[in-house]
Amino acid sequence: RKEVEQDPGPFNVPEGATVAFNCTYSNSASQSFFWYRQDCRKEPKLLMSVYSSGNEDGRFTAQLNRASQYISLLIRDSKLSDSATYLCVVTGNDYKLSFGAGTTVTVRA
C-alpha cells in the first residue's frame, strides 16, 4: 500500500465552482500534514498546512480526519489561476515528507 494516495483527477470545473478532493495516508503515526501546489513544469510550493481542527485560508479549506486517515482540500469560487496539481504531503516528527502523486485541477472559463 502506498504511503500517500490521491485521486489523480483531473477535476475539470468551471470558474466559480467548488471543487474538493481527498488524500489518504497509511501511517497512523503521521503527525503533520500539508497541501503543496505544483504548477505545470514548476516546483512544488506550500499551499497550506493542515491542522487537526481544520483550517481556512481564503477560498481554501483543509480538513484532517485522523480516525479515517485522510485529509481533504476544498476550493471555493474557483479561479482560472487555481489550475494546478495539488500534492498531499504527510510526515512524522522529522524531516521526511511523503508525497502523494498529486490531484490535477483544471478550471475552465
Binding site for another protein (CB under 8 A): 2, 4, 8, 31-32, 34, 41-46, 49, 87, 91-102
Nearest to 3 by CA among 86, 91, 73, 72: 91
Kindly state the smallest distance separating residue 92's Cβ from another protein, in Å: 8
Element (H, E) at 32: strand 32-38
> How is residue 93 annotated by DSSP?
S
User: Which residue, 78 or 87, is less far from another protein as judged by CB?
Assistant: 87
Quick one: 2 or 108, whose CB is closer to another protein?
Answer: 2
Per-residue cell: 97: 515528507
Closest contact distance (angstroms) between CB of 69 and another protein is 17
